[in-house]
Amino acid sequence: MSLEKISIVMPFRNSAATLPEALASVSAQSFGDWELLAVDDRSTDDSAEIVREFAAGDPRVRLLQNDSGRGVVGASETAGRVARAEWLARMDSDDVSHPERLARQWAMAQARPDLDVIGCGVEILTPLGDGMARHVEWVNSLAEPEAIANARFIENPLVHPSALMRKAAVNAVGGYREVPWAEDHDLWLRLLERGSVFGKVPETLLGWRDSATRLTRNDPRYGDVFRNKMRAHFLSRMPRIREHGVVVAGAGPIGKAIAQELLLRGIEVKGFYEVHPRRIGEKIHGAAVAGLEDFGKCWREAVMLGAVGVPGARDDIAGMAREAGYVDGRDFWALC
What percent of the chain stands above pLDDT 90? 86
Q: What is the mean pLDDT of residues 177-199?
A: 97
Does the structure show a pLDDT above 80 at 317? Answer: yes
Looking at per-residue confidence, does 144 or 3 come out higher? 144
The per-residue pLDDT for range 264-284, each reduced to its tens digit, is: 999 999 999 999 898 999 999
**pLDDT in the model for residue 91:** 96
Give the chain's domains with CATH numbers: 6-221 (3.90.550.10), 223-334 (3.40.50.720)
Lowest pLDDT segment from 32-41, 68-77, 81-90, 258-267: 68-77
pLDDT at 131: 82
- How does residue 1 score in pLDDT terms, banded at 50, 70 and 90? very low
Distance (Å, whole) CA 244 – CA 232: 15
CA 138-86-94 angle, 5° bins: 45
Amino acid 213: pLDDT: 60
Cβ within 8 Å of residue 40, ≥6 positions away: 12, 13, 47, 48, 51, 63, 64, 65, 66
Residues contacting residue 21 through CB under 8 Å, at least 6 positions apart: 96
pLDDT (average), residues 140-145: 96
